[in-house]
Structure 1
Amino acid sequence: MKSLISITLLTTFLTPYSVTATPLRNPDKTVNCEILVVGGGLSGVATAYESLLAGRTVCLTEITDWLGGQISSQGTSALDERPTQRAKQFYPRGYLELRNRIQKKYNKLNPGDCWVSDSCFLPGDAHNIISRMLKDAEKQGRGKLNLFPNTVIKDLQISQDGKIIDGAIAIQHQPTKNAPPLNTFTLSQTIEDAYNYQNSSRLDKKIIRFLPKQSQRNHQWYIVDASETGEIIALADVPYRLGIDARSYLEPSASSTTNDPYCTQGFTYTFAMEATKEPQIQIMPPFYNQYAPYFSYELSRLANFDLVFTYRRIWSPNKGQQTKFGGINFTTPTPGDISMQNWTWGNDYRPGTAKDNLIYTRQQLQAAGQLQSGGWKGGLRTEALRKGEENALAYYYWLTAGNTDSQLGDGVKQPQPNHRLLTGINSPMGTVHGLSKYPYMREGRRIIGRPSWGQPEGFGIWEVDISRRNYNDEYYKKTLPTDMYRQLKATLAGLEATSVIRGEVSPDQAMKRSRSTIFPDAVGIGHYAIDFHPCMENSPPEAPGNKERRGERRGAGQAYPFQIALRSMIPQKIDNLLVGGKSIATSHIAAAAYRVHSFEWSSGAAAGTVASFALRENIAPYQLVDDLPRLEPKLQILKDILEKNGNPTAFPDTSIFNQNWQDWK
């Protein structure tokens, strides 16, 4: 522990790296693909999985050396699932296979005996399981997987008419001779180097050019942006949203009357800590006092260390005694138990202003030169990453040695010295410093879909499409302008919508539909609560007395089972680009539900299937939906393929006449 603090934090955070003065050379390697998948998280893996089963040649890039995103490199290896969907086992086939392989690995689905999920496990095992799944899919479908870990996309070659990505340039890195191994340094220390064409004192680079497979008609190929923050949509400069959307009849619970691109959900560097029999020496990080005013158990019913430790416990070799706190049942920790920490008023880092936001807006990217040729550096604020890393390590110290609580006052938090931070290449996070290789991202850039009937400014999935919120609450009638309120009630009225619009039925008398919006172009499913980790009001986030952005949690709450519309995956401008994961066309509030594990897999399964189908039919994805609401025969063929392959596009009994969704929990 002492060496970690003194060397990794004090020294390497301050140690500069030198860049070898060599000019940009020609690509070291050219690789041909039918489908280029950018991002090896769950959405990217699912895209590759389905593409390989369809017999396609796939190139898959990932910034870290682990596949799996949320459940591996980001450390959140606790599956977020809703009870009804889990009970019915109604998931895409690849996600079910993932769960089955976890069960087989440990002879149980929940080796951590956590209480937040039915499945908590070790991140490194998730990477190994997923890697095996892709190899098996490659063999079964007779596809070809070209895997590029430690690789980032640096530049795109776009056709003169701006409609096609003709090629992509990537940089793959490895440690230079005599340099420490990968995962010695934190992401903030390496990310700018990783996007630099030149070699450095830490990293040697290989430049890779991706091009369409030569045997394809018209050299047709597809690029899928499955990155965590929407890197390719930013680099290709297609229209997108970021942060809070302005209040409207589609987003009536928005916390602002105007857009605010700086307030995205908080990001989290997770870490693993082990319960020990004997007290451990806990070394205070030099930056601890800067972040200590932020930390809290948050609520009295959660103010119990054992409760927090077991919340996302990922390994428990010896089952403890059954106990209860705040109405929650769990087993007490025993020595050897390992907990992964992901706590809102803990290692969440929640900047929300133009001074400290993590994900750069288009204007910030332009000002920084990142949209110029060769200027792309990942689109993130390195300083925000660094502070998120410090905040996480300070939170570990607070858990084990702290005695303050920013929300609950004095006397609540007690030291818990019988624990140690797990560090080293062979630790659960696979890093020398003990933090996850990449932060857990809850929100990124979200595309604006192409103009569609009912949404002439661009398709999107909004709060009202999925939320169970009671919009008869007086807040909406008092806050929304009269016309906006009437539009809201008409949108929610289902079969009575036309009568409300015509004035034949009073908005307050219209019966609210009790299901999510049904999309004719649905290609996937998801179900989760609208779950917020709001940005903070002021900068810096950890400032004493700082509060969450007012009104942000109004949009939080339960959601109906929902669908993924194909239109939400098709960006404007670029015809051979598809989007999966958190960057599909959702609003800020809807995105808070469209971000968890099974949804990411479903969106990726859809992307892989759509791309493979488009290659087979020699058709662009937008052509599958451009005549809606009129009948789209090829869209129906695509949906049949998804369903036949075990990738549901709708929940059981989905119909405009079925209003019985209240029992779905």
Structure 2
Amino acid sequence: MLLEMKSDIVIIGGGIGGCAAALSACRTGKQVIMTEETDWIGGQFTSQAVPPDEHPWIEQFGCTRSYRQYRNLVRDYYRNHFPLTPEARAQDRLNPGNGVVSRLCHEPRASLAVFHQMLAPYIHSGKLKILYHYQPESVELDQDEIIAVTVRNRLLNQQIVLKASYFLDATECGDLLPLASAEYVTGSESRAQTGEPHALEGSADPMDMQPITYCYAITYHEGEDHTIEKPEQYDFWRDYSNTEFWTGKLLSWQVPHYITLEPTEYPFFPIEGGPTSRWTYRRIIDKNNFMPGTYDSDIVIVNWPQNDYWLGSIIDVSEEEKQRHLEGAKQLSLSLLYWMQTEAPRPDGKQGYPGIKLCKDAVGTEDGLAKYPYIRESRRIQAEFTVVEQMVSADIRGASGAERFDDTVGIGAYRIDLHPSLGGRPYIDLSSYPFQIPLGSLIPVRIRNLVAASKNIGVTHLTNGCYRLHPVEWNVGEAAGAIVSYCLDHKATPSQVRNNKVLLQDFQAVLERAGIELHWPTIGAL
């Protein structure tokens, strides 16, 4: 007989959205079960090793109170436990890595510690149970409601049947949607479907998705040799090029500029007066922030254009094909490392940096790659409301700002940023206005007790490009946890709350009391 567990809310997926949803629901007193595919909760921050991508106003406004608490706790983690230099300790806005990509570049393990700290009161009190190494396997339905989700621990080959009043899909790829027979879309919509100027001119392409990336951390030790064993697919990746949208060989310091697509060379180490170096771009530890002897080297995350994998999808394909592409993505990342160690051109005329060392401790794995690939694009629910390019694009909206939504449950800001796609399209990078998150984008068109809580909300291939980043996923998850908690308290469905003006305004007041900003001040586009 299968083991059975019950709670008020079941969250499938323990990434950023899942953790934020758990926090939101637990602080209202709800019983929550959350599953996590790996042994690290935190998603992009932790198991995917992606430093936060945030908008330029993040230090002043533009995120939820709990996300700001997360950021403050990360800084406190370093202040309380690390021997910072007096100069670093004096910085109110400490950036441990001084990376270019974020005002708070930090280690995945620091994120993990903070997530555990924030969830500790609810884990200790028994309100939250986290099931590690579990993935959804099947769903029991009764017409338009989920009755139970069966999850499996592949390491133990153990199944558990999870029952609840509400289920949140916070998986990285929207894995609950096909199991629950929920209507969803993948890839690129057509212009005829959405009216978006940058949508596909012909038919929609469900496989035209953004690439995945296996991130990893490196250190550098001049005069030492840390060259890894030659990857099995190195010869393939060393010679690989894509003339449709790339500038030459993929393994090169030269890449297309993300806006102009012109060939642009970014050096490995900083060059005075030169463009941003790969070393400083996603640096998560600047050793100069710490007292001598703490770190022997800076630590840098390799999440660069050169290790984006676009040769195939891991969504809606056979398990064999999925595993083939996951392995291909790993081989690409390792091949980039091996190329840098052995063949990469240097300013001094030599080839290779053998002093580059794979920093396995930073990501907590034996192979040195992140526990999970960075997923930019998920399955997306067919939602009660879908955000399209025309609602956020600066070029289209003119001076009026992003479209305002009466059912706003939060805010976010990022450019419409899409990496070269599996369908052979180049970078798409468009200016957009700071935007709101409509409640309707979290609600599926049919299934009454399922809510999207990650990157699987009602957006298009294009608007996913600005709704997919860390603070937005957090806000989506927090709002998802809040709406199902509110529905349990008021005996209503999410759709009923959204479509009843009195209930909606009352729910939005609940969100604001919880520290969720619903509106932007008047500011410009990104």
For Structure 1 versus Structure 2, the TM-score category normalised by the shorter chain is 0.7 to 0.9
The aligned amino acid for 2:173 is: T
- Identify the residue that residue 442 of structure 1 maps to in structure 2: 376
The answer to whether residue 511 in structure 2 is matched with residue 638 in structure 1 is no
Aligned ranges 1:481-500 → 2 under 5 Å = 492=397
Aligned ranges 1:57-136 → 2 under 5 Å = 57-76=31-50, 78-84=51-57, 86-107=58-79, 109-136=94-121
CA root-mean-square deviation: 2.3
How far apart, in 2, do the equivalents of 1:623 and 1:513 lie? 34
- Identify the residue that residue 243 of structure 2 maps to in structure 1: none
Q: CA deviation at 1:398?
A: 1.6
Q: CA deviation at 1:553?
A: 3.5
The answer to whether residue 271 in structure 2 is matched with residue 385 in structure 1 is no
TM-score normalised to structure 2 length: 0.87
- Identify the residue that residue 246 of structure 2 maps to in structure 1: none
Instruction: Select which of 156, 177, 192 maps to 1:233.
Output: 177
- Identify the residue that residue 303 of structure 2 maps to in structure 1: 342
Q: How many aligned positions are there? A: 483
The aligned amino acid for 2:278 is: V
- Identify the residue that residue 129 of structure 2 maps to in structure 1: 146
CA deviation map 1:601-638 (0-9, x unaligned): 100110011010000001111112346xxxx1001100
The answer to whether residue 157 in structure 2 is matched with residue 205 in structure 1 is yes
Aligned ranges 1:453-602 → 2 under 5 Å = 459-469=385-395, 471=396, 492=397, 512-536=398-422, 549-550=424-425, 552-554=426-428, 556-602=429-475
The aligned amino acid for 2:343 is: G
How far apart, in 2, do the equivalents of 1:247 and 1:48 lie? 37
CA deviation map 1:574-608 (0-9, x unaligned): 10000021100001100001000000110011001
How far apart, in 1, do the equivalents of 2:298 and 2:268 lie? 14
Contact 1:303–1:412 (8 Å) recurs in 2: no
How far apart, in 2, do the equivalents of 1:380 and 1:72 lie? 26
The aligned amino acid for 2:167 is: I
- Identify the residue that residue 21 of structure 2 maps to in structure 1: 47
Deviates most, 86-95 or 589-598: 86-95
Q: CA deviation at 1:514?
A: 2.6
Instruction: Select which of 232, 235, 252 maps to 1:296.
Output: 252
Q: CA deviation at 1:152?
A: 0.9
Structure 1, unpaired ranges of 5+: 1-25, 173-193, 195-202, 213-220, 321-333, 369-376, 451-458, 472-491, 493-511, 538-548, 653-659
How far apart, in 1, do the equivalents of 2:29 and 2:442 lie? 22
Structure 2, unpaired ranges of 5+: 80-88, 241-249, 257-262, 270-276
How far apart, in 2, do the equivalents of 1:619 and 1:143 lie? 26
- Identify the residue that residue 18 of structure 1 maps to in structure 2: none
Alignment CA distance shift 1:403-1:517 (3 Å) = same
- Identify the residue that residue 188 of structure 1 maps to in structure 2: none
Q: CA deviation at 1:347?
A: 1.5
- Identify the residue that residue 85 of structure 2 maps to in structure 1: none
The answer to whether residue 200 in structure 2 is matched with residue 274 in structure 1 is no
Q: CA deviation at 1:318?
A: 2.5
How far apart, in 2, do the equivalents of 1:268 and 1:110 lie? 24
The aligned amino acid for 1:296 is: S
Alignment CA distance shift 1:609-1:380 (3 Å) = farther
The aligned amino acid for 1:75 is: A
Q: CA deviation at 1:394?
A: 0.6
Contact 1:522–1:563 (8 Å) recurs in 2: yes
Contact 1:268–1:348 (8 Å) recurs in 2: yes
How far apart, in 1, do the equivalents of 2:59 and 2:476 lie? 21
Q: CA deviation at 1:536?
A: 4.8
Contact 2:209–2:422 (8 Å) recurs in 1: no
- Identify the residue that residue 30 of structure 2 maps to in structure 1: 56
Q: CA deviation at 1:143?
A: 6.8
How far apart, in 2, do the equivalents of 1:412 and 1:467 lie? 45
How far apart, in 2, do the equivalents of 1:650 and 1:91 lie? 10
The aligned amino acid for 1:116 is: V
Q: CA deviation at 1:414?
A: 4.2
Q: CA deviation at 1:532?
A: 1.3
Q: CA deviation at 1:416?
A: 1.6
SS of residue matched to 2:362: coil
Alignment CA distance shift 1:380-1:572 (3 Å) = farther
SS of residue matched to 1:520: coil
SS of residue matched to 1:60: strand
SS of residue matched to 1:635: helix
Alignment CA distance shift 1:413-1:449 (3 Å) = farther
The answer to whether residue 418 in structure 2 is matched with residue 418 in structure 1 is no
How far apart, in 2, do the equivalents of 1:314 and 1:661 lie? 29
The aligned amino acid for 2:322 is: R
How far apart, in 1, do the equivalents of 2:474 and 2:140 lie? 28
How far apart, in 1, do the equivalents of 2:279 and 2:208 lie? 29
TM-score normalised to structure 1 length: 0.69
CA deviation map 1:182-229 (0-9, x unaligned): xxxxxxxxxxxx3xxxxxxxx3222211123xxxxxxxx110001101
How far apart, in 1, do the equivalents of 2:78 and 2:327 lie? 35
CA deviation map 1:7-41 (0-9, x unaligned): xxxxxxxxxxxxxxxxxxx21x2211101001111
Q: CA deviation at 1:319?
A: 5.7
SS of residue matched to 1:394: helix
How far apart, in 1, do the equivalents of 2:348 and 2:186 lie? 40
CA deviation map 1:215-269 (0-9, x unaligned): xxxxxx1100011011111211211111111014631112442100111001110
The aligned amino acid for 1:516 is: A
Contact 2:62–2:411 (8 Å) recurs in 1: no
Q: For the pair shown, which has the larger CA radius of gyration, 1 or 2?
A: 1
How far apart, in 1, do the equivalents of 2:289 and 2:76 lie? 19
Aligned ranges 1:170-181 → 2 under 5 Å = 170-172=151-153
SS of residue matched to 1:318: helix
Q: CA deviation at 1:648?
A: 1.3
The aligned amino acid for 2:413 is: H
Contact 1:402–1:415 (8 Å) recurs in 2: yes
The aligned amino acid for 2:267 is: N
CA deviation map 1:74-117 (0-9, x unaligned): 011x2111112x14233111111110110101126421121111
Alignment CA distance shift 1:641-1:132 (3 Å) = same
Alignment CA distance shift 1:337-1:404 (3 Å) = closer
The answer to whether residue 499 in structure 2 is matched with residue 623 in structure 1 is no
The aligned amino acid for 2:309 is: Y
Q: CA deviation at 1:335?
A: 4.7
Contact 1:52–1:143 (8 Å) recurs in 2: no
How far apart, in 1, do the equivalents of 2:112 and 2:211 lie? 24
Contact 1:224–1:580 (8 Å) recurs in 2: yes
How far apart, in 2, do the equivalents of 1:440 and 1:588 lie? 17
CA deviation map 1:45-64 (0-9, x unaligned): 00000111011000000000
The answer to whether residue 284 in structure 2 is matched with residue 314 in structure 1 is yes
How far apart, in 2, do the equivalents of 1:143 and 1:636 lie? 32
